[in-house]
């Protein structure tokens, strides 16, 4: 099905199942520990051996000598895989650095060996007996130091142009009566999903089966096929449950490749999980940025010049953190400039983490907006309202499909009690605490992606959906079941959803908040095909047939849905593809974040007291699971504001705090009750579901709202994340 | 730096040779241990290095108890031993001869949910589900601890009975990380169960 014209009235509009706040259908399995994750497929691979990964102990250089004899002789060891013994390996289409290093080492903890043994304990112990002598080379590990060497990255479809200009930014900025020119920094961050990267590999007659934890089944399958120089058809990837990804499991990683190599070498299934201290440096991370924001405005708060430049670093051949992308679309302003510069760093590979680009970009831009509002003596909500735009500011011919940003701001302000905020910082005290309110806009684009599905109707009237879509905690199982139930007019318990298997039709996968809208639209397309075939078999006109309550009705006639499949299962398969509506209309999601913090007047400790998000993201397919997506993103936003920071050892070139104790993430005690409001919106330009994404919108702007609240509480402006108390303790107001 | 274990590999100084290891047997030592898991006795012969977590997951195939960090940092492996919650990754299986162990599988099943499991579902107190068994085991134990009058860091008056306030529950649950960020919903689920019991 090609989606080329705005969606008209369709069966989803009935909203009898879609749009309802239903419990997740995978809840009983997940809460009882009976949902099998990648490493837990004992039935599929009962005789699996265990692999333990050895990571490089230097950041850049060469292995001079790799001695695996002692490891090979260790009890229980079946094989030791290294680059010398692995056979020829290519680099997967999404990878920047080879997943198995040696002799060249590209980053710290790049995998250099896999020890396979009869038990986990034996493999781990033997891994400690791999002896490696390195020749370390000098590398670049410090973004600030490398900033002057950064160059414009090559344009591509994902990031767009590295430089954009509209009007005369420099002239307009120079002429603006009120100006802001500040630089902000965001640190390297780690996904730190709870389930480590994990895989079991098994070979049968040249076919590889991988039980793995991946957000994108097809990307993983293509990645392993390319890396092992295999035919894609000889790879079967299975990923029914994924213990979190956040961008860290988008494509092939070392666990899957090494499990496949280990299994090939031993003739046994092999299971590999990256041990936690390896993950931060072995896998990908959100790259640090340096961002310069310049805003020029008239005295009544109309932006005339808006400029945003960002510097980030990555491995040779890698890409930039696209932190300027929202600035091209979020606010009006006749004169505009954005630029991205990319330095070569020898740190681990940078890549996507929840809302790549916008998450760190909004961390800078939305502090700048707060600072500018103060210069203008304008309320920060009002300042944003004055600079709303209903068209693409770079191309005024191109409207937004829907853009209720002002409603998000006003609704949030009213709901949060924003009018009670004292704009003068440091004025509100509650005992020992300085109390402040902060806010930010939220913004993230909607991404149309081709997505396929297969639906089956059996003689009992049951519907089965098959798609290689994944559920990484996002609620895919449930919203797909809701879509099929609505389309076919059956109850939720009459729908079975099968996900995460590369033998099913290729879906959009999970990433970029594009999963829900595209995957359900693919199911919609397949269900349209199934409805047509059902109507044909029943002798109905498919155009006016109504599917509800297990019945198909047309005019005065009615028949049980099941009867259409009385003589055999009916199968329909299709995919959603998109025309150019996303080109003629900018499709984005909008929101506002409001935060109340208390800062201890003596110690500087920050407590987040209240949080509210207002979101406009098209049709909300399941308000319960969508709300969870948003509060989870708000939580990660608090982490970004206050604690998350992969600390770089700039001499030896690695992330020092590479585990879950020293890389701090929010815990229960850090997070208050959180409120989420969804605006009632449908976007007929986005898809037949009229939905967009919400899982990443929820993080965009949160950290800045926290930073702005801390400023309102204390009068201390911190422009370098995370905002830890050591960075501002000496600037706190005197304790009276 | 906590958790300083990095890779298993030993990086050698340029040009130096490895120091000779002291002679010791590399052969693993196995030992028998009887674990009473969810009311059923299991006789196991395990490598003495086997953590209680791996004994459950890899030997008994009770994979509801999750391995998130294997270092006592994340709480995903929380179980109850003789009624007390522990991180099962931080203890060896052979230390638990005869102990009564309760895992998530022992609390309830999909067809017969424990009230805490049902509350997690109705409040959507989970997303990816990987920390969830540990959260639920911790939550059940937290209510027991409060009921027994055990104070916490945020208990204002340690001579009085601790309350079932959100702050008390948050503090006591803070060893269980949920990276999906379901905390707000988890607290509501626990509070509901606590209220039902009170």
For every residue of A364-432, DSSP letters joined together read HHHHHHHHHHHHTT--HHHHHHHT--SB-TT-TTSBBS---HHHHHHHHHHHHTGGG--SSTT--EETT
- Indicate if the pLDDT at residue B12 is higher than 50: no
Check B7 against A109: CB less than 8 A apart. Answer: yes
B121 touching A, CB under 8 A? yes
Distance of residue A146 Cα from the nearest chain B Cα, in angstroms = 27
**Range(s) for CATH 3.10.20.30 in chain B?**
32-107
3-state secondary structure of B173: helix
Nearest to A520 by CA among A552, A477, A461, A458: A477
Element (H, E) at A112: strand A111-117
Does ipTM top 0.90?
yes
Domains and CATH numbers, chain A: 2-35+449-580 (3.30.365.10), 358-446+587-731 (3.30.365.10)
Residue of chain B whose Cα is closest to the Cα of A647 = B1
Is residue A96 within 8 A of residue A40, CB to CB? The reply is: no
Burial B63-89 (b: 16+ CB within 10 A, else e): bbbbbbbbbbbbbbbbbbbeeebbbbb
Q: Of A652-666, B11-25, B66-80, which gets the smallest average pLDDT?
A: B11-25
Distance of residue A578 Cα from the nearest chain B Cα, in angstroms = 29
Please state which CATH number belongs to domain B115-197.
1.10.150.120
* Residue B43, both tokens: 């006789």
pLDDT at B9: 40
The beta-strand segments (E) located in A280-394 are 289-297, 303-314, 335-344
* Residue A73, both tokens: 């002789």
**Range(s) for CATH 1.10.150.120 in chain B?**
115-197
- Mean pLDDT across the stretch B2-26? 46
A194 touching B, CB under 8 A? yes
B141 touching A, CB under 8 A? no
pLDDT per 10-residue tile (average), chain A, 736 residues? 97 98 98 98 95 98 98 97 97 97 98 98 98 98 98 86 96 98 98 98 98 98 98 98 98 98 98 98 98 98 98 97 97 98 98 97 98 98 98 97 98 98 97 98 97 98 98 98 98 98 98 97 98 96 91 95 97 98 97 98 97 98 98 98 98 98 98 98 98 97 98 98 95 82
Helices (H), strands (E): how many in chain B?
6, 6
Sorted by sequence, the CB contacts under 8 Å of residue A522 that are 6+ apart come out as A450, A451, A452, A453, A467, A469, A505, A507, A508, A574, A575, A576
Distance of residue A372 Cα from the nearest chain B Cα, in angstroms = 32
- Indicate if the pLDDT at residue B189 is higher than 50: yes
Nearest to B114 by CA among B98, B142, B133: B133
pLDDT at A157: 77
What single DSSP character describes residue A21? -
Please state which CATH number belongs to domain B32-107.
3.10.20.30
Is residue B75 within 8 A of residue B179, CB to CB? The reply is: no
Which of B128, B139, B176 would best serve as a mutation to test chain A binding (most A beta carbons within 10 A)?
A: B128
């Amino acid at each position: 099905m090609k989606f080329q014209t705005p969606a008209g009235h369709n069966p989803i509009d009935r909203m009898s199942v879609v749009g309802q706040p239903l419990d997740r259908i995978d809840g009983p399995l997940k809460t009882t520990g009976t949902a099998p994750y990648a490493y837990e497929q004992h039935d599929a691979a009962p005789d699996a051996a265990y692999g333990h990964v050895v990571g490089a102990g230097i950041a850049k250089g060469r292995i001079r000598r790799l001695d695996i004899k002692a490891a090979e002789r260790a009890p229980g060891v079946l094989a030791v895989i290294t680059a010398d013994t692995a056979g020829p390996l290519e680099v997967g289409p999404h990878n920047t650095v080879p997943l198995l290093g040696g002799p060249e080492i590209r980053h710290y903890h790049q995998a250099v060996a896999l020890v396979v043994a009869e038990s986990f304990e034996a493999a781990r112990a033997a891994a400690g007996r791999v002896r490696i002598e390195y020749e370390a080379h000098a590398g670049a590990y410090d973004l600030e130091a490398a900033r002057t060497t950064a160059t414009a990255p090559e344009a591509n479809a994902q990031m767009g142009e590295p430089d954009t200009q509209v009007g005369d930014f420099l002239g307009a900025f120079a002429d603006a009566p009120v100006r802001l020119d500040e630089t902000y920094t965001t640190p390297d961050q780690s996904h730190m999903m709870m389930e480590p990267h994990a895989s079991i590999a098994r070979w049968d007659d040249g076919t590889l089966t991988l039980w793995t934890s991946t957000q994108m089944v097809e990307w993983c399958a293509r990645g392993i096929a390319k890396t092992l120089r295999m035919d894609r058809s000889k790879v079967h990837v299975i990923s029914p449950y994924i213990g979190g990804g956040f961008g860290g499991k988008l494509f092939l990683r070392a666990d899957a490749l090494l499990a496949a190599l280990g299994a090939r070498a031993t003739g046994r299934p092999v299971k590999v999980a990256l041990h936690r201290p390896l993950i931060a440096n072995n896998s990908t991370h959100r790259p640090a940025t340096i961002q310069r924001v310049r805003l020029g405005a008239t005295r009544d708060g109309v932006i005339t010049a808006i400029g945003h430049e960002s510097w980030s670093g990555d491995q040779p051949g890698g890409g930039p953190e696209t932190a300027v992308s929202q600035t091209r679309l979020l606010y009006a302003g006749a004169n505009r400039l954005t630029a991205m510069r990319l330095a070569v760093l020898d740190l681990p590979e940078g890549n996507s983490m929840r809302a790549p680009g916008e998450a760190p970009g909004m961390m800078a831009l939305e502090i700048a907006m707060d600072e500018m509002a103060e210069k203008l003596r304008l309320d920060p909500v009002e300042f944003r309202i004055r600079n709303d735009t209903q068209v693409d500011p770079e191309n005024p011919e191109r409207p937004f499909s829907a853009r209720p940003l002002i409603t998000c701001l006003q609704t949030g302000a009213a709901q949060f009690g924003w009018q009670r905020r004292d704009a003068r910082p440091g004025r509100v005290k509650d005992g020992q605490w300085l109390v402040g309110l902060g806010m930010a806009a939220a913004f993230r684009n909607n991404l149309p992606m081709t997505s396929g599905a297969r639906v089956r109707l059996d003689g009992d009237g049951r519907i089965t959906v098959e798609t290689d879509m994944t559920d990484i905690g996002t609620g895919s199982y449930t919203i797909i079941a809701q879509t099929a139930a609505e389309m076919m007019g059956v109850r939720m318990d009459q729908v079975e959803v099968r996900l995460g298997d590369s033998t099913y039709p290729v879906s959009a996968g999970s990433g970029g908040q594009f999963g829900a809208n595209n995957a359900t639209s693919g199911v919609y397309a397949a269900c349209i095909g199934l409805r047509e075939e059902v109507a044909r078999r029943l002798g109905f006109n498919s155009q006016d047939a109504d599917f509800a309550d297990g019945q198909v009705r047309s005019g005065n006639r009615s028949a049980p849905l099941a009867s259409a499949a009385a003589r055999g299962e009916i199968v329909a398969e299709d995919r959603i593809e998109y025309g150019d509506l996303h080109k003629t209309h900018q499709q984005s999601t909008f929101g506002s974040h409001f935060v109340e913090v208390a800062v201890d007047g003596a110690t500087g400790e920050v407590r987040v007291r209240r949080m509210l998000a207002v979101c406009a993201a098209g049709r909300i397919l399941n308000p319960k699971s969508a709300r969870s997506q948003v509060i989870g993103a708000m939580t990660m936003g608090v982490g970004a504001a206050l604690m998350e920071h992969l600390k770089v050892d700039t001499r030896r070139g690695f992330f020092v705090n590479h585990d879950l104790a020293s890389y701090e993430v929010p815990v229960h005690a850090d997070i208050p009750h959180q409120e989420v409001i969804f605006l009632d919106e449908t976007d007929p330009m986005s898809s037949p579901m009229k939905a967009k994404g919400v899982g990443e919108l929820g993080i965009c702007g949160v950290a800045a709202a926290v930073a702005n609240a801390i400023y309102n509480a204390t009068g201390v402006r911190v422009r370098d994340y995370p905002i830890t108390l050591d960075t501002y303790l000496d600037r706190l107001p005197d304790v009276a | 730096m906590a958790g300083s274990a990095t890779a298993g590999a030993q990086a050698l100084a340029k040009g130096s040779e490895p120091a000779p290891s002291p002679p010791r047997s590399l052969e693993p030592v196995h030992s028998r241990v009887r674990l009473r898991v969810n009311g059923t006795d299991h006789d196991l012969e395990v490598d003495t290095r086997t953590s209680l977590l791996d004994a459950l997951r890899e030997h008994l195939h009770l994979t509801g108890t999750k391995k998130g960090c294997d270092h006592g940092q994340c709480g995903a492996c929380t179980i109850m031993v003789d009624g007390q919650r522990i991180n099962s990754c931080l203890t060896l299986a052979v230390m638990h001869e005869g102990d009564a162990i309760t895992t998530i599988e022992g609390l309830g099943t999909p067809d017969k949910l424990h009230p805490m499991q049902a509350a997690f579902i109705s409040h959507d107190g989970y997303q990816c589900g990987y920390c969830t068994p540990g959260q639920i085991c911790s939550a059940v134990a937290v209510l027991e601890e409060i009921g027994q009058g055990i104070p916490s860091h945020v208990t204002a008056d340690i001579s009085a009975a601790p309350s079932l306030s959100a702050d008390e529950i948050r503090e006591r649950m803070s060893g269980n990380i949920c990276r999906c960020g379901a905390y707000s919903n988890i607290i509501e689920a626990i509070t509901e169960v606590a209220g039902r019991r009170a």
